[in-house]
Amino acid sequence: MSSPTHTMRIGASVTLGTDRPVLFSGPCAVESKEICLEIGSKVKSYAQKHGFDYVFKASFDKANRTSGSSFRGIGFDQSIKVLQEVGEALHLPLVTDVHESYQVEAVAAVVDVIQIPAFLCRQTDLLLAAGKSGKAIKIKRGQFMAPEDMQFAVDKIRSTGNLNVCLTERGFSLGYHNLVVDMRALPIMRQFAPVVFDVTHSVQQPGANQGSSGGQRQMAPYLARAAAAAGVDGFFIETHPEPAKALSDGPNMIPLAKMDAFLGMIKDAWDTGNRYRNFPAV
């Protein structure tokens, strides 16, 4: 499939869908300002070194945890304040997810990209509220959705007059605590919008740790290289200085100390894939 003409503007200086990949990266959740600043500053330097534009990511609320007793966050107001302070201190655009329509207005006042979680990609009211915010919208493909059906999620955003939308691939579920990535989904979805590959959640094992999610971090390099070579516009990677101590999604995170080499690896694969994006159909 040929390269699409779709792009997504992020703030004043970043465009997804060009000849420069975009990295969405940070901790899974806002644990503290200190952790966010440490991760953001180091990943920013790695991204610049390897030729990525960088958007800092952290969730203000983990509303879809397996167990009701799991960590969700440090509170809406405090998390939003931390995100704003990190963005200002590091001069970075920001992305976080929303779960309810009423959250959109307050979140849009701070971040540059609003992320729609995979389980909510068909929630019309949420998508329309996000689209009307005027911010760039990043929709994760639901584990239950055929890739071609994500066109309709994109159409909902664009129906608000907001053309800044992208899709994110994170695998589909067959149950039994596992996700499978079908690389055919990437060119299919790129017909509708730029596509980001979610390295972190593609290796997640939902609910596999008796009330919390597990993960196969060792598989992340293989899937990341494959997606980069297949031709995506960006990457979503969660990272932490000590994944074993992270308050959510630790088993699938790339250790912060490994991020420099990890980004170098996938940029090499991306450069190769980018040269063949317009390879004629066979």
Model confidence pLDDT, tens digit, residues 173-210: 877 778 899 999 999 999 999 999 999 988 877 755 55
Cα 248 from chain centre = 15
Is a pLDDT exceeding 90 seen at residue 237?
Answer: yes
Indicate whether 65 pLDDT > 60.
no
For the stretch 7-60, pLDDT in tens is: 999 999 999 999 999 999 999 999 999 999 999 999 999 999 999 999 999 999
**Would you say residue 2 has pLDDT above 50?**
no
Query: In terms of Cα–Cα distance, which of 122, 158, 167 is closest to 24?
Result: 167
The pLDDT assigned to 195 comes to 98
Strands (E), the chain: 8-10, 14-16, 22-26, 53-57, 94-97, 113-116, 136-140, 165-169, 172-173, 179-180, 195-198, 204-205, 214-215, 234-240, 254-255
The winner for highest mean pLDDT among 199-203, 235-239, 249-253 is 235-239
pLDDT computed for residue 209 by the predictor: 56
Spatial contact of 93 and 99, defined as CB atoms under 8 Å apart:
no
Strands 8-10 vs 14-16: parallel, antiparallel or unpaired: antiparallel
pLDDT of residue 1 exceeding 50, the answer is no
Name residue, tokens 């070579």. 229
Q: Which two three-digit tokens encode residue 169?
A: 């691939």
**pLDDT: is 47 or 1 the higher one?**
47
* Residues 93-145 pLDDT 10s: 999 999 999 999 999 999 999 999 999 999 999 999 999 999 999 999 999 99
Cα 76 to Cα 111: distance, rounded to the nearest angstrom: 14
Structural domains of the chain sorted by starting position, each given as residue range(s) with its CATH number in brackets? 23-272 (3.20.20.70)
Pinpoint the alpha helices (H) of 135-204.
150-158, 185-189, 199-202
3-state secondary structure of 237: strand
**Contact of 36 with 26, CB cutoff 8 Å:** yes
| Predicted confidence (pLDDT) at residue 66 exceeds the cutoff of 80 | no
